[in-house]
Amino acid sequence: MTADKHPSSAFVLAAGKGERMRPLTEAVPKPLVPLAGKPLIDHVLDRLAAAGIKRAVVNVHHLADQIEKHVANRKSPEIIISDERNALLDTGGGVLRALPKLGRAPFLIHNSDSVWIEGMGSNLDRLIDAWDDAAMDSLMLVASVASSIGYDGSGDFQMDATGRLTRQGGGRAAPFVFAGVSIAHPRLFDGAPQGRFSLNQLWDRAIEKGRICVGERIAESDAARGGGRSCPRCIRCAGGQRQQVTGRRTDDGVVIGAERVLHGVTTPS
């Protein structure tokens, strides 16, 4: 990707109620739940800053005051709040409302609870480098189900011999799962409904139009060499104590590991 097409903005989904993480989220919003001594949203914002993102639009709804206070003094990336206190707009509606703040260039969309252990290099850098403005309306980061920590579903995607990603269907298990990060062009939202709606609607439409790409898989051996990681299922080490993450909910929060990554335009089911 050329420098002039490098995304400079990101939308961070931080408005959800965190219902699957109760009772942790009854008093603390999910983005502020700590993981390895740092709130989930700080892991996300730090990674965005490292990837060259200058501006992050953060939507808020549940316990919004806490999130606003937490990010108020952050300098990199610059934080802009998209206020959904009056009405939670879901993923699609939230991004649509924030489009004027995001600009006219492609931008990242990042769940506030998507955290992974890096292998060789940066997954966000690879995702950004794979963006093709002429061919794509959306580009997704997905991970191997087998190596996704905290995920207990049946997967989202199949991949054909060319690396093309398709929706999971027919009751079969799929080997790949959406990792909570994508790049979107504003044209993805042309003709989008007003109010509350899911990004799934727009991703389905992009698939129907053929706005999909061939995925790029990071070799498992490369991922295994990265990060100085001694245990593939260990998400943090503190005071010599390893925390084994085996379920959807842990003492620290929800995490998705992305040890092996694909890039493709598609959607989770």
How many other CB atoms are there within 10 angstroms of residue 125's CB atom?
13
CATH number, domain of 233, equals 3.90.550.10
Residues in a beta bridge with 34: 39
269 in a structural domain: no
Long-range Cβ pairs for the range 166-173 (8 Å, 24+): 166/207, 166/266, 167/207, 167/266, 167/267, 167/269, 168/269, 169/269, 173/145
227 in a structural domain: yes
Q: What is the pLDDT of residues 208-240, one digit of tens each?
A: 776 755 333 433 333 332 222 222 222 222 222
Range of the domain at 49: 3-264
The whole-angstrom separation of Cα 253 and Cα 39 is 9
117 in a structural domain: yes
230 in a structural domain: yes
pTM of the model: 0.78
Q: How many domains does the chain have?
A: 1
Q: What is the pLDDT of residues 19-35, one digit of tens each?
A: 787 888 888 999 999 98
Q: Do residues 39 and 33 lie in contact, with contact meaning Cβ atoms separated by under 8 Å? A: yes
37 in a structural domain: yes
Q: Residue 242: what residue type? A: R
Q: What is the pLDDT of residues 192-212, one digit of tens each?
A: 999 999 998 998 888 777 675
63 in a structural domain: yes
Going by C-alpha positions, the residue among 34, 13, 30, 12 that lies closest to residue 21 is: 30
36 in a structural domain: yes
191 in a structural domain: yes
